[in-house]
Structure 1
Amino acid sequence: MDGYFGRYLDVDLSDEIIEEYETPEKWIRNYLGGRGTGIRILLEEMDGDEDPLGPNNIMIFATGPLQGTGVPGAGRHVVVSKSPKTESVSDSYAGGFFAHELANSGYDGVILRGMADSPVYLVIDENGPGLEDAEELWGEETADVDGKLKARHDGGRVATIGIAGENLVKFSCIINDKNRAAGRPGFGAVMGSKKLKAVLVKGFENKPIYNEEKLRKTQKEFVENLKESSSIEWGKYGTASGLGALNERGILPTKNFQKGVFDKHEKIEGETLFNEIITERDNCTGCPVRCKRVVRTEFAGEEVEEKYGGPEYETLSAFGSLCMNSDLTSIALANQKCNKYGLDTISTGNTIAFLMEASEKNLLEEDIKWGDSEKIVELVDEIAHREGLGKTVAEGIVEFAEEIEADFAVTSKGQEIPMHDPRGKKGLGISYAISPRGGTHMEGFHDDFREESPEIGVYSLSDRFSWQGKPYATKRFEDFQSFLNSCIFCAFTTNYAGENYNGHLIRRMVNATTGMNIGPGQMLDIGERNFNLLRIHSRREGYTRSNDKLPKRLREALPKGPSSDSPIPKDKMQEAIDEYYKLRGWEAKGPTSDTLRSLGMGEVIESIE
């Protein structure tokens, strides 16, 4: 089938055996690629109850149908595995240039099994795949590993872990291209447990394309759509532009989600970053939006280097407003340290804000003041090295919160909530509560979309504080985003609604690449199948309807601002989730056999019986 090689590289690190894994064409047609095919492979190859940091956990790097084509928005890959945070299968996405090389390597992805006896790295190039000794790379920073491996193998793209992954910090991540992170689920620790330091890929075999002429014609239309929708103009400030907008709406996470307004937000928002410390803008493969930040500055005598990129919105808020910190240069340094150590910035910022509140409430011996920018940077070092307080919180704040009897850890299913407060986005609150991945903003419904989206099936929306129609809209947008995550397509090049909606152009590019004929209905079906695959995995790990809830903090009203006096009552949330479950065809443990059969997923029914 065009658009794919139809095989994954299958690497057993324990026995140093490298084989090929053929992917059935039916899986590709049903689940498309990316997260869908990757999670389907894990359903086939894992039984449940595996230790996320043990040899029986499997990790997959996957591409989708559009990677390797140079299409804007397709410069992304996905990593799927069992998360040490949620203890269920999750997925994580990263942009940059690694995906383009992997998609042109002769394989659609890489399956990693077992656990090496000593540090190794994987090479995939024109000489064939192989495992190499990485003993001298163990302990090295991510950018140094990137440079050394490129020099050793005359180019290629590198995905690697830093010392946080080596130290099995449960919110460590995988860094590719020096500053792009596959973050959130803790996959850096999974790689660290397998003693796999890095993967280097050099593309040498172009993937087959069904209709090159049609693909390039549609690609041109897609770029014009980006221009007309102001997406390219938005790239000037990038995701950082959202900080001021969320503050205006009163939902900028502040002081560990105690507030939604940060009085000093101007000092850390996108325009300030652009005017004061940005040196250039970066992009991913083939993308004209160029939304990535590149900065240079210094804080407390330490230089912030351009090679580690610069902070995006989530990072600005996590180390900024969430910690009551208005020092932009300290945020840039904290971001750099997270990139060189391989730490998820959202989880790290959440953890530090939690420690600040715990200190304020005399639950810690350490004195950690709100807004202490030097302490924030120091704590990043301690967490990555598992030193001091970092040794304890590196396991995650859920267990530590229980230990000190704190009820203000802001998490869902063990995953720290990202920097979007659902008290002003009720639909997003539903997504946070029900997601098999734990708190995630990249597959949830953001209630800011006010325009019609006919292909998604949403024609009218109530305001962001209302519950009316939100379960339906949440499900539909989740299915659409799940489809995009199987294309592995960037949310920042996707226009979800209104006259600039471009989902049809994405489908046409997929069809031109693969020869498939995916229409609006099939698009949402693919997304729904893949969302159900995730839920089947969480079901096998013991998750049920009772786990779908929000933390105590988010059930409390914000004290001031445009979103004040709008808490998320437990009864209202549960009513919305009840309706959501009916729409999905789920029972307490997830999808029923009838639901799976109706989606053409009869072959996985045995996984729920």
Structure 2
Amino acid sequence: MNGVYGRYLDVDLTQEALREREIPPRWYELHLGGRGIAARLLLDLVPPGTDALAPENAVIWATGPFQGTGLAGAGRHVVMAVSPKTGSIADSYVGGYVGHELGRSGYDGIIVRGQAREPVYLLLAAGRAELRAAADLWGRMTGDVDAILKGRHPGVHVAAIGPAGEKLATQACIIHDANRAAGRPGLGAVLGSKRLKAIAVQGHLEKPLADPAGFARAQAAFAHDLMDEGTQRFGELGTARGLAWLSAMGILPTRNFQEGTFDRAAEIGGERMAETILIGRETCAGCPVRCKRVVKTTFGGREVQPGYGGPEYETLAALGSLCLCADLAAIALSNQLCNAYGMDTISVGVAIATLMEASEKGLIAERIPWGDGGAIVAWVERIGRREGLGDAIAAGLDRWAREVGAGFAALVKGVEVPMHEPRGKVGLGLSYALSPRGATHMEGMHDTMLETDSPTPELGITERMDRFALRGKARVVATYEDLRSFVNSLVLCSFVTQDAGPRYNYPLIRELLRHATGIELGPEEMLTVGERNFALLRLYAGRAGHGPEEDRLPPRFHEPLPRGASAGRPMDPATFRAEVAAYYRRRGWTKDGLSAAKLRSLGLEDLAGT
């Protein structure tokens, strides 16, 4: 297959050995790249039940056929490993420039296994790979590491962990380019356990494409279609544009998911940010949208530095409305500290909101007032440093919540619920509960996109559906998950793909794929690729002992919201369970993985019984 190199760099930290690992051509035909290849490698290399922090775990950086081409939205890549939160394989998607450089490196990805005796970093540049000592980088913040390695090796782009990853905090992520996070599953802790501080990558090759001229024409058309008035406005305000709108719809997580409406949402939204602390916009490799925030301000006498970027929607909600905080400067500093320590802002925000509610209910001795920006900043650092109660939270919010009786902690399979209130997006709530990687907003269907006539005719989704309607949602949830899984196999940014409505652009994406690889897919085949790659997550989870009893939401989401446009509409538990069962039937999932018939239908019969 064109568009790929057919090999991964295989790094054994224990043996200090670097080799090339050839990838079977059939895998590329079945999985294309990204998520699918990474999952196949982990199924081969890491037995289910492996401790996420053991040397036997592997961390995989994976690209798809578009990385390295300069295609808009292809600055993204995936990182996957067994997660310390779920105990199963979980993936995280991140933008910036590392994926682009990896796509020009001669490798489709990097496999990291074992455990180094002393801290190291991996340098991959000009076709050469080597491990170098990182004792001088250990303990440093991610921005410092980024600057040091770029100064030491001009032209590289860097992915690094901070002190939180070194200390094995479950909230730890991998920070790319100083301000892009491969967050959620706790993969920074996995790197910390391996004593791998960073990777630094510089590409040097042209990607081998099936039809370079055809790809160039389609690439230009894709960029032209992308930059309509709506997308330009999105670039100006970024993901933060949605805060006030979501609050008006009653689905902005507020007060630890006790409410869906934040009366001060406008004070932390994209418009207010643009008027106050925004000083610029950044982008990812090849993308004209430029949606990344760059801010400058001070809070409590501390400077918020532009190099760490600025808060996006999930951060503004997690460290803002979820904690009843309307202080943009406090949120911006907290975002910077999360990036510097190397922590996922959703995970940290949910943890702090849980602590605030626990304090209010008298479950802990500490007084942590709702809305207190100074307290939020302090708790970010306490978790990042693993100090006092912050140490227990860093060890795992789910474990701590069980110990103190905080049944209101918003977790699914140990993963913090993201900033989209499922009582107003019930299909997304199903995805939260059913995803093998824990609650994620980047995989499932957002019900609001179905509130239009004939949302996605190419996929057979031709009827408008109410965002509160739960019955019958399992079918469409699975369809859109397969579509998104296809995107995550390419790997493309969700902001350049349109899953529904008049701007649906998958025919052009498939044309780009044909020019890049020589593989031509129709709509059904596209969904099959997505389903096949998503199924690998369930296969691994089932074999690791994770069954359907874990496919549930926190009890709070089966209670009604008290006010706002989504008030009084709890998800009925009986209907929810019926849709979970319908979803299992549609997917061919079983309590311990996938049925043999489903494996055969997906072309994965070689994985039966392994």
Q: Aligning the two structures, in what range does the TM-score lie when normalised by the shorter sequence?
A: over 0.9
Does 2:323 align with 1:320? no
Provide the secondary structure at the position in 2 that maps to 1:110.
strand
The separation in 2 between residues aligned to 1:374 and 1:401, in whole angstroms, is: 23
Cα root mean square deviation, aligned: 1.0
Shift of 1:229: 6.5
SS of the equivalent of 2:20 reads strand
Note if contact 1:319-1:325 (Cα within 8 Å) is conserved in structure 2.
yes
Q: What do the CA deviations read for 1:146-197 (whole angstroms, capped 9, x no partner)?
A: 1111111122100000001001001100001110000000000000000000
Distance 1:199 1:590 in 2: 34
Local SS of the residue matching 1:422: coil
CA distance in 1, matches of 2:383, 2:283: 30
Gaps of 5+ in 1: none
2:43–2:540: 8 Å Cα contact kept in structure 1?
yes
Contact map agreement 1:462 1:468 (CA 8 A) in 2: no
Determine the structure 1 residue equivalent to 2:134: 134
Q: 1:466 aligns with which of 445, 464, 469?
A: 469
Instruction: Work out whether 1:457 is the aligned partner of 2:460.
Output: yes
SS at match of 1:424: coil
Q: Secondary structure at the match of 1:60?
A: strand
Give the Cα separation in 1 of the matches to 2:127 and 2:218: 35
- CA distance, structure 2, for counterparts of residue 265 and residue 154 of structure 1: 42
- 2:93 aligned residue: 93
- Tell me the equivalent position of 2:505: 502
Please state if 1:527 is matched with 2:525.
no
Q: Distance in 1 between matches of 2:563 and 2:157?
A: 47
The answer as to 2:516 corresponding to 1:513 is yes
The AA in structure 2 aligned to 1:416 is E
The residue that corresponds to 2:31 in the other structure is: 31
CA positional deviation for 1:588:
2.7
In 2, Cα distance between equivalents of 1:267 and 1:103: 40
Residue number in structure 2 paired with 1:59: 59
- Following TM superposition, by how much is the alpha carbon of 1:562 offset from its aligned partner in structure 2, in angstroms? 0.7
Q: 1:178 touches 1:339 (CA, 8 Å); kept in 2? A: yes
Residue 604 of structure 1 pairs with residue 590 of structure 2: no
Q: Deviations over 1:276-335 (max 9, x none)?
A: 110011111111111100000000000001000000000000000000001010000000
Among 480, 483, 504, the alignment partner of 1:480 is 483
Q: Please give the residue correspondences for 1:212-291 in structure 2 after superposition, counting only pairs within 5 Å.
A: 212-228=212-228, 230-291=230-291
**Cα deviations by residue, 1:121-156 (Å, 9 ceiling, x for unpaired):** 000112610000000000111111111111111221
Task: Specify the code of the residue in structure 1 equivalent to 2:592.
Answer: K
Q: Given the alignment of the two structures, is residue 542 of structure 1 paired with residue 545 of structure 2, yes or no?
A: yes
How many residues align? The count is: 607
- Note the alpha carbon deviations across 1:544-572, whole angstroms, 9 max, x for none: 11111000111111000110111112211
CA distance in structure 1 between the aligned counterparts of 2:127 and 2:551, rounded to whole angstroms: 48
CA contact (8 A) 2:127 2:204 kept: no
> Is this contact kept in 2: 1:121–1:131, CA < 8 A?
yes
Q: 1:105 to 1:19 in 2, by over 3 A?
A: same
In 2, Cα distance between equivalents of 1:203 and 1:76: 15
- Verify: 1:210 aligned to 2:213, yes or no: no
Partners of 1:595 and 1:291 lie apart in 2 by 40
Matched AA of 2:148: K
Residue 348 (str. 1) matches residue 351 (str. 2): no
Q: TM-score, normalised by structure 1?
A: 0.99
SS for the counterpart of 1:421 is coil
Q: Distance in 2 between matches of 1:286 and 1:590?
A: 39
Distance 2:271 2:238 in 1: 10
Matches within 5 A, 1:545-560: 545-560=548-563
Q: What displacement does 1:100 show? A: 0.7
Q: Match of 1:323, as an amino acid?
A: C
- Corresponding residue for 1:109? 109
Any idea what the Cα deviations from partners look like across 1:31-58, whole Å, max 9, x if unmatched? 1100110101111112111110010001
CA distance in 1, matches of 2:52, 2:417: 21
The worse-fitting range, judged by mean Cα deviation, of 547-556 and 352-361 is 547-556
1:580 Cα offset (Å):
1.1
Distance 1:467 1:399 in 2: 31
List per-residue Cα deviations over 1:195-253 (Å, max 9, x = no partner): 00000011012220111111111112212221236222211111101111110110110
For the residue of structure 2 that corresponds to 1:572, the secondary structure is helix
Cα distance, 1:600 vs. partner?
1.1
- Contact kept, 8 Å, 1:229 with 1:500, in 2: the verdict is no
Deviation at 1:456, TM superposition (A): 2.7
Are residues 1:571 and 2:574 paired?
Answer: yes
In structure 2, C-alpha distance between the alignment counterparts of 1:577 and 1:203, rounded to whole Å: 44
Tell me the SS of whatever aligns to 2:503.
Answer: coil
* More displaced 10-residue stretch of structure 1: 587-596 or 346-355: 587-596
Shift of 1:388: 1.8
Deviates more, 1:122-131 or 1:57-66: 122-131
Determine the C-alpha separation between the residues in 2 that align with 1:345 and 1:197: 20
- Alignment partner, residue 305 of structure 1: 305
State the shift of 1:406 in Å.
Answer: 1.7
Answer whether contact 1:457 1:476 (CA < 8 A) is retained: no
Per-residue CA deviations over 1:565-592 (Å, capped at 9, x if unaligned) read 1111221110111111111122333320
Report if the CA contact (8 A) 2:540-2:593 is conserved.
no
Q: Is the contact made by 1:462 and 1:469 (CA closer than 8 Å) also made in structure 2?
A: no
Could you give the per-residue CA deviations for residues 349-392 of structure 1, whole angstroms, max 9, x where no partner exists? 00000000000000001111101110100001110110122111
**Is the contact made by 2:432 and 2:553 (CA closer than 8 Å) also made in structure 1?**
yes
Give me the whole-angstrom Cα distance separating, in 1, the residues matched to 2:224 and 2:502: 13
Map 1:588-603; keep pairs closer than 5 Å.
588-603=591-606
SS at match of 1:19: strand
Q: Distance in 2 between matches of 1:34 and 1:168?
A: 26
8 Å contact kept, 2:383–2:394: yes
Q: What is the one-letter code of the residue matched to 2:291?
A: C
CA contact (8 A) 1:461 1:469 kept: no
Separation in structure 2 between the aligned mates of residue 456 and residue 123 of structure 1, nearest angstrom: 43
Query: C-alpha distance in 2, partners of 1:11/1:518?
Result: 34
* Structure 2 residues without counterparts, runs of 5 or longer: none
